Amino acid sequence: MSRPQTAQEVWGTLRSGNANFMAGAPAHPRQDADLRRSVAVQQTPFAAIFGCSDSRLAAEMIFDVGLGDLFVVRNAGQVIAETILGSLEFAVEVLQVPLIMVLGHDQCGAIKATMDSADGGLELKGKFIHNLVSRILPSVQRGRQAGETSLEELTVRHVSDTIEELVERSEIISSAIAAGKLAVVGANYRLEQGEVELIAKKGSL
């Protein structure tokens, strides 16, 4: 596999790999011992993925790529934090990836917990869980004000809002988009079908 160099080429590679995964015929590229030794010297990923920590959302598997291909950052509900911003800025400024993907998924427990919290029904006690929920709550509130009530609609809303926050808060990322060096896309993964759907983007794709 030739290494994709532009955001368009990266998106095409990810779509092709996801099609393999959906079809149940993954190629499992770049996972051999020689490759493992070669990437130990230096990493050159072609994309950064900021996704949910859900155990069913393994980026290298659903995009059928290998070692050294993706720079992956995850937390429950793909919630922006300073450490997330720093990691993604590192991917852009140091690793020079041409594409960042914010990846949500259906049946997200973090979004569901936030909906429960908005309704006064969150029973979880962990204070840091509540902190995480509070970061997602503005998306749920904005969505409901716009008439969005389903878990899927609010998940899509949160992915789009996360992209806006990412671009707004990081000058490194917004400048790279303006210079045509980077695209940021939002996508939603369907757990049962295995399909990744594009739902938002910033920059040329």
196: Cβ contacts below 8 Å, ≥ 6 apart: 14, 15, 18, 62, 63, 103, 187, 188, 189, 190
pLDDT tens string 141-171: 999 999 999 999 999 999 999 999 999 999 9
pLDDT in tens, 86-109: 999 999 999 999 999 999 999 999
CA distance 140 to 95: 33
Say if pTM beats, i.e. exceeds, 0.85.
yes
Domains defined for the chain, CATH in brackets:
7-202 (3.40.1050.10)
